[in-house]
Amino acid sequence: MEPDLAGLSEICVVAAAPSVTPWSVRGERDALQEGGVDVVFATVASLEGAGEALTRVGQWLRIHEDPGVPVRVAASVREICAAKAAGETAVVLHFQGAGPLCDGAELAGAFARLGVRVMQPTYNYRGLAGDGCCEPDDGGLSRFGRTLIGAMNQHRIAVDIAHAGIRTSLDAIGCSTRPVIASHANARAVCDHPRNLPDEVIKAVAASGGVIGLCAFPSFVSAGRSPALDQLIDHAVHIAGLVGAGHVGLGLDFADEGEEEYDFYGYDERYYPRPPWVWPRGIEWLHQCRGISPALQARGFSADEAAGIMGMNFLRVLTAIWGS
């Protein structure tokens, strides 16, 4: 039985929230409540191996089982809706890259059973599954990557092409039998950055039935040193004009990383300035998310379109991918 969304008029889904971790979620809970955020995609792992990923999944499951913490791991849309009804934050476990799978696509099913329901095949550079967006050759999806997409479809894990190269993204969309998302990415036509999506990829995501989550990382919003919320909404305007507002969501990607994390993930200083990062004025952290809907409507989006961007669009697509 599919979940009944007819009675749900609004929900706030942030489809990339690396700042929300098992050890930070208690502190972030106040910001989530103040910002009206109901659902976050929490990054479990990216470059880390299976052992580290399992440890972090276990940490999340311990929080899920703690009645004293109003946070629940959600592996279905029904569980998301139940968490919202109970006034709890729903956490969707997310891999930013296929590192935890090592070279075994069959591990996708095992992690799905543990609650990992969204996965990126690549993270910025070349991996076993294909090339990331910062890989100059952009060789596309590998044979292993094609097998992985098939396994993700089989186990109803959402395919996420954020951080993937252009050819890798198009290959993944072409291979997938279910909608494909870009959890946190903007429009390259608005801000020319390799992490942003060219119109060709935006159209392909939309044609698959997917959604693109607006990303607040400052370098992806504008070339200026101090962007603002209105410049983030420029990306929403462009994407909506190209494929419709129903394919736009939120993937703000707030992260509080230091020099050690920066070096571990191998960021390229041409594209990722060293921390600390200054987030766009008006949307500087999760507590300011309530301001996004009125800002969208001030730019011409209807109330229904704004509600879709705030979360209903992602919920619709997750229903199509996960079922109930």
Question: 217: exposed, middle or buried (C-beta count within 10 Å: 0-12, 13-18, 19+)?
Answer: buried
pLDDT score for 270: 87
Helices 77-85 and 313-322 pack at an angle, to 10 degrees, of 140
**Mean pLDDT, range 39-60, rounded to an integer:** 96
Q: By the 8 A CB rule, do 173 and 161 touch?
A: yes
Check pLDDT > 90 for residue 175. yes
Domains, the chain, ordered by start: 13-322 (3.20.20.140)
% of residues, the chain, pLDDT over 70:
98
pLDDT score for 267: 87
The 10s digit of each residue's pLDDT in 63-73 is 999 999 999 99
Residue 23: helix, strand or coil by DSSP?
coil
Question: What is the C-alpha end-to-end distance of the chain, expressed in Å?
Answer: 6
The 10s digit of each residue's pLDDT in 82-104 is 999 999 999 999 999 999 998 88
What is the pTM assigned to this prediction?
0.96
Instruction: Give 208's pLDDT tier (boundaries 50, 70, 90).
Output: very high
pLDDT score for 4: 54
How high does pLDDT run on average in the chain? 95
The 10s digit of each residue's pLDDT in 309-321 is 999 999 999 999 9
Check pLDDT > 60 for residue 1. no
The 10s digit of each residue's pLDDT in 222-249 is 988 789 999 999 999 999 999 999 999 9
- Cα–Cα distance measured from residue 169 to residue 159, given in angstroms and rounded to the nearest whole number: 10
Instruction: Give 10's pLDDT tier (boundaries 50, 70, 90).
Output: very high
**Per-residue tokens: 246:** 């129903």
The 10s digit of each residue's pLDDT in 96-138 is 999 999 888 999 999 999 999 999 999 999 999 999 999 998 9
pLDDT score for 5: 60
